[in-house]
Amino acid sequence: MMNDIRRVAVVGAGQMGAGIAEVFARAGLDTIVCEHGPAALRAARARIDRSLHRAVDRGRLTERQRADTWAHLLFADDLEVLADRQLVVEAVVEDERVKAEVLVTLDKVLVADDAVLATNTSAIPVTRLGIATGRAAHVLGLHFFNPAPVMPLVELVSSLHTDPTVLDRVHGFAEDVLGKQVIRSRDRAGFVVNALLIPYLLSAIRLAEAGHATAADIDAGMVHGCAHPMGPLRLADLIGLDTVEAIARSMYDEYKEPLYAPPPLLSRMVEAGLLGRKTGHGFHPYRTP
């Protein structure tokens, strides 16, 4: 049976949110992108435009498909316009308070009783976000990976309150409509992928921090010695060092395991605004878009 979810929205159109919105629109879904103010909306349009042009240049998309994607996108700076949405993905900053506030507002705005609220959090327990709303049974984690239009994986996370039928409905949507590979995780900080990935990235940062090797050599070691497509420090730069730190803090707060604790170097770089690819400099230099 064809999945019934056709009207969707993304709140927050930074690096991840813009990518998720593009995935939705490319799947032919009626997609609203919600951001705070004209400047943020212009930046969101620019991110999606750059991504679509790259997809055309690399042969992943035709010009006609690019135009069709734009035809499925609407931009707004008022959450009230999302009243008729069947699924809304929250993709704002990785901060529990901010995410909870957005979800509470969306809970009041959405009209349909079966509308689903999804969070793209990388590590914050979904149960804590869900109970802030009046529809915890319809709240779940839908964690995309960067860049969302290219990466095939989605983590589907159920809270202690998520209705199993809601979970199955969104699983089918992500798999059949979006064409993603879906894995399920219980509600634990870090879920599946980051529970494995973050300690690896933090170990590489500690290695650089101690001066045992340069960032270039650490990355080269894992690329050429272990056949990884990208070294750990370059991957941390791609994710965003602020996001890596936020995920690590969330995991450390929950488990108190030393391997999850953000190294001082990571925290200093975040404080200095050296966040990786998106700011033009992290462990490696980049050309800003």
Share of the chain above pLDDT 70, in %: 99
pLDDT band at 288 (very low <50, low <70, confident <90, very high): low
Confidence (pLDDT) at 1: 39
Taken in order 116, 152, 164, 192, the sign of the CA dihedral is negative
Answer for the pair 240, 275: CB distance below 8 angstroms, yes or no.
Answer: yes
Residue 45 CA to residue 32 CA, distance in Å, equals 12
Fill in the DSSP letter of residue 49. Answer: H
Q: Which amino acid is at 108?
A: K
Question: What is the average pLDDT score of the chain?
Answer: 95
Confidence (pLDDT) at 289: 57
Residue keyed to tokens 């404080």 = 271
State phi, psi for 152 to the nearest 5 degrees: -80, -10
Q: Which residues lie closer than 8 Å to 109 by C-beta, 6 or more apart?
A: 79, 80, 82, 83
What are the tens digits of pLDDT across the range 43-80? 999 999 999 999 999 999 999 999 999 999 999 999 99
Confidence (pLDDT) at 2: 55
pLDDT band at 3 (very low <50, low <70, confident <90, very high): confident
Domains of the chain (ranges plus CATH)? 7-185 (3.40.50.720), 193-279 (1.10.1040.10)
What are the tens digits of pLDDT across the range 193-229? 999 999 999 999 999 999 999 999 999 999 999 999 9
What are the tens digits of pLDDT across the range 143-159? 999 899 999 999 999 99
Share of the chain above pLDDT 90, in %: 95
State phi, psi for 126 to the nearest 5 degrees: -70, -30
Show which residues are catalytic.
122, 143, 155, 194
pLDDT band at 123 (very low <50, low <70, confident <90, very high): confident
Would you state the torsion angle of the CA atoms of residues 85, 87, 88, 89, taken in this order, to the nearest 10 degrees?
-160
Region 259-281: mean pLDDT is 97
